[in-house]
Chains A and B, each alone.
Chain A
Amino acid sequence: MRALAEDGAGEAAAQAGRRRRAALWAHGWLALGVLVFALPIWITLVGSTHDAGTIGRGEVPLLPGSHAVENYATAWAEGGGRFRTTAAAAMLWNSALMALLIAAGKIAISLLSAYAVVFFSFPGRMAFFWMIFVTLMLPVEVRIIPTFQVMVDLSLINTMAGLVVPLVASATATLLFRQFFLTIPDEYVEAAKMDGAGPLRFFRDVVVPLSVTNIAALFVILFIYGWNQYLWPLLVVNDRSLETIVVGLSKMIGTGDAQNEWNTIMATAVLAMLPPVAVVVLMQRWFVRGLTETEK
């Protein structure tokens, strides 16, 4: 009897040991993953605090230097790289405006069209729904030239509207809102009708407030989508006053010549990723929710 109990205790101890070892391995691998993720960022952060000569000579430092303030001031007010193309402050403003307008625009027009499709019955309802749905299959990348020609015809080249309007159609957002609207109980609509509230009133006072969670989750995803646009701004904008920071950053690098002013480019890179990363980290819960919801 006693022997058996000791046996059990021994096994439990062995099991606990095994579990501790497994947990240790898990920590190790995760830490390695985190390091691989962080390495390029760390190098960029460090590089943005040294003078151009240190980096240009290839003396890659691993610890921050003392030139942070001047590098960021230069990048912010004059622009990074040898050619000082556009000040980061202006490009950040353009990116922020574009990202906010795209996110807000997508949410607004998707709310409206999902509302029409779910709460009304009218000829062509499903046809319109499918029309919106099919846009999923027509990303900008596959219709570059003809879309550009439309932009020229509408004189939208080099305008903020040209950056934003063609991107505000959203099949995913419409699908998400439609799915959510279908879960709103019929009784709500009946009650609203009995109170004499019209469809617009119902939309404003019931549907939109109920959708706040979904709107917040989508907003995070769409803001990042807007901020990270690349091909579209590259095509539509060649006026430097409208340059976005992601495209501007890659233009600073040019062909990757070693004799560039890398420290200010690195400072610009940090500025370019700070806003979307901050949004993800600060709104992590909304972000994960938005991501998994929109892909359902």
Chain B
Amino acid sequence: MRRRVIFRGKVLPYLLLAPQIAVTLVFFFWPAAQAVRQSLLREDPFGLRSEFVGLENFRAVLADPLYLNAVRNTAVFAAAVAGIALGAALFLAVQADKRIRGAGVYKTLLIWPYAVAPAVAAVLWLFLFHPSIGLIGRALNAAGMAWDYKLDGAQAMLLVIVAAAWKQVSYNFIFFLAGLQSIPASVLEAAAMDGARPAYRFWTVVFPLLSPTTFFLLVVNLTYAFFDTFGVIHALTGGGPGKATETLIYKVYVDGVQNLNFGGSAAQSVILMAIVIALTAVQFRSIERRVHY
């Protein structure tokens, strides 16, 4: 879409664009290009020498059992976070959509966790699940379960999933509620008139109508679980114990910042870029579909 009436100006539009484009070039495009370049080089940790090695870094990364471990962790983590956050949010949104008193109050009380930083969410859950100072952590130990997320990989994974999902429910809730409220009452009344039971009505009428929202949220939640949860893992487990909670993003950080393996870290970055591009493309196609719908 274009405007019919526009201003004339040869230099002005470029000046207006300059700040945004400058930041974009210096801090986005240049580093991204460097990541691609470094992914094809082998560099010593002091950055003194480097040689072109082609796809060697990618081969090394993909053959690394620790990388495959990170892939597995990311898959489990992302699927669980998206599943829990979407399921809980949809359920709560359906309840809040009913004509009940105080719906607005519930809404306010359910959306504020969105404002809590992922790392702070992690800290809050640590206070609950710490084996010796946490309310639930101590209760679990008292009940005979050996709970210590600092020693047990599965428990650590569970905890980062809960902390990451907890924060994301609010976001999904807002979108599901908006989606539910945009379903015309006449459609629901028609279904009710046909004598369909509420649960049946939900799965055959409401849920299909919500599917564009659900799909959009699924992509957003996966993106969140992939990229925005670094803080949760860094604050809570540091990728441990024994790399049990090391996700792809976390590994890029560990290899690049701590192990100074620039080539390997860059190759991982390039793989992640491909994932983001794919997710973004899917997201925009889903939005197009939503507009037509």
Contact = CB atoms under 8 A, between A and B. Distances in A.
A242 to B, nearest CB: 17
B116 to A, nearest CB: 5
Nearest to A145: B256
B114 A280 contact: yes
Interface residues of B, number: 101
B116 A277 contact: yes
Interface in B122-147: 122-128, 130-135, 138
B190 interface: no
A230 B27 contact: no
A138 B110 CA distance: 31
A128 interface: yes
Nearest to A281: B112
Contacts of A291: 114, 171, 174
A29 B35 CA distance: 48
A209 interface: no
B3 A135 contact: no
B115 A141 contact: no
Interface in A253-273: 253, 255-256, 258, 262, 265-266, 269, 272-273
Interface residues of A, number: 105
Nearest to A230: B231
A249 B119 contact: yes
Interface in A88-129: 108-110, 112-113, 115-122, 125, 128
B112 A144 contact: no
Contacts of B68: none
Contacts of A30: 92, 95-96, 106, 110
A149 B257 CA distance: 11
A3 interface: no
Interface in A160-209: 165-166, 168-170, 174, 182, 186, 189-190, 193, 198-200, 202
Given A146-B31, A224-B114, A110 B174 contact: no
Contacts of A27: 100, 102
B110 A37 contact: yes
A250 B231 contact: yes
Contacts of A266: 127
A20 to B, nearest CB: 10
Contacts, number: 304
Contacts of A190: 5
A137 B20 contact: no
A145 B7 CA distance: 42
Contact of B227 (A139, A147, A224): A139
B32 A146 contact: yes
B1 interface: yes
Interface string B230-257: 1100111010000000000100110011
B191 interface: no
A2 interface: no
Contact of A202 (B7, B21, B109, B236): B7
Contact of A262 (B112, B127, B235, B249): B127
Residue of A122, A142, A256 with most chain B CB atoms under a 10 A cut-off: A142
B119 A246 contact: yes
A110 B110 contact: no
B100 A280 contact: no
B204 interface: no
A279 B114 CA distance: 11
B117 A272 contact: yes
B115 A224 contact: yes
Given A30-B92, A143-B269, A255-B238, A116 B13 contact: yes
Nearest to B4: A186
A72 interface: no
Given A120-B6, A147-B27, A230-B230, A115 B16 contact: yes
A79 interface: no
Given A43-B128, A147-B27, A253-B123, A23 B98 contact: yes
Given A22-B98, A128-B21, A141-B249, 19 more contacts: A37-B113, A39-B128, A108-B19, A112-B16, A116-B16, A120-B7, A125-B13, A131-B29, A138-B273, A142-B35, A142-B249, A145-B35, A148-B257, A182-B1, A189-B3, A258-B133, A272-B120, A280-B114, A292-B178
11 contacts: A33-B106, A33-B110, A58-B133, A60-B135, A132-B20, A141-B230, A142-B276, A143-B269, A224-B115, A228-B231, A249-B119
CB-based closest 9 A-B pairs: A230-B231, A146-B34, A228-B117, A146-B31, A250-B235, A116-B16, A40-B124, A276-B115, A120-B13
